[in-house]
Amino acid sequence: MWKKIKQLIFIVLILNVIFIIWGRFFNPPITITQIGGLFEYGKLHRDYISYDEMGSNVKKAVIASEDQKFFNHNGFDYTAIEKAMKNNEKGKKLRGGSTISQQTAKNIFLWQGRSWIRKGLEAVYTFIIEKVWSKDIILERYLNSIEMGQGVFGVEAASKYYFGKSSKDLTTSEAAWIAAVLPNPKKYDPKNPSAYLRKKHNWIMRQMRNVSLK
């Protein structure tokens, strides 16, 4: 029995290694979150494109919104994590301190949710992809796989869905609208923005001025 368990663990580890190396060169064929969106909304809008095809505005907008230290950290923003933990202890509602690297690990390899098991695996995958992949690859995988609407995944599909154009052609304002729906794309809609979303959009526009792609 124990021998079979060890064999199973070994096989799982080997498959994970293969998938991580494979992911350095290719976008995932499908993710658990995308499957969930397909079942929930009966549709799956996505259009994988290369890093260079995305244009700079949408990259800057998402970095400004989600992780302004992306190119400078090792996968973890310890200041943001500490702040999130302190606020959670006080009972304040605050989004977590996850970086783009952590979100990429979750979106590509894992599932949504807040369990300690998932968070632990997320940390492991984050550490590995930061070592095996480059920052550009991590950002490309993130921007191609991130949920950006009901059944809409990736910045290219989101650009066409919300604005009828490719992501490389987005204006600064349009890119900021797409980034503004994160981290709750099922709730927020750039086509019908709430007062909060308008405020966040304006904040992202200001923050984009400070974002450098390297």
On whether residue 201 sits in a domain, the answer given is yes
Provide the domain count of the chain.
1
On whether residue 214 sits in a domain, the answer given is no
Q: 110-143 pLDDT, tens per residue?
A: 888 778 888 899 999 999 999 999 999 999 999 9
Residue 113 pLDDT: 78
Angle in degrees, CA 209, 177, 164, rounded to 5: 120
Q: Is the dihedral of CA 129, 130, 135, 139 positive or negative?
A: positive
Q: Where are the beta strands (DSSP E) in 18-66?
A: 45-46
Q: What is the CATH number of the domain that holds 175?
A: 1.10.3810.10
Taking only the tens of pLDDT, the chain with its 214 residues reads: 776 676 777 677 788 888 888 889 999 999 999 999 899 988 999 999 999 999 999 999 999 999 999 999 988 877 776 776 666 665 555 556 789 999 999 999 988 877 888 889 999 999 999 999 999 999 999 999 999 998 999 999 999 999 999 999 999 999 999 999 998 888 898 888 999 999 999 999 999 999 988 7
Residue 185: closest CA among 151, 156, 208, 160: 151
pTM, 2 dp: 0.89
Residue 160 pLDDT: 95
| Domain span at 127 | 2-208
On whether residue 213 sits in a domain, the answer given is no
Give the distance, in angstroms, between the CA of residue 80 and the centroid of all CA atoms in the same chain: 17
Dihedral in degrees, nearest 10, Cα atoms 113, 115, 118, 123: 110
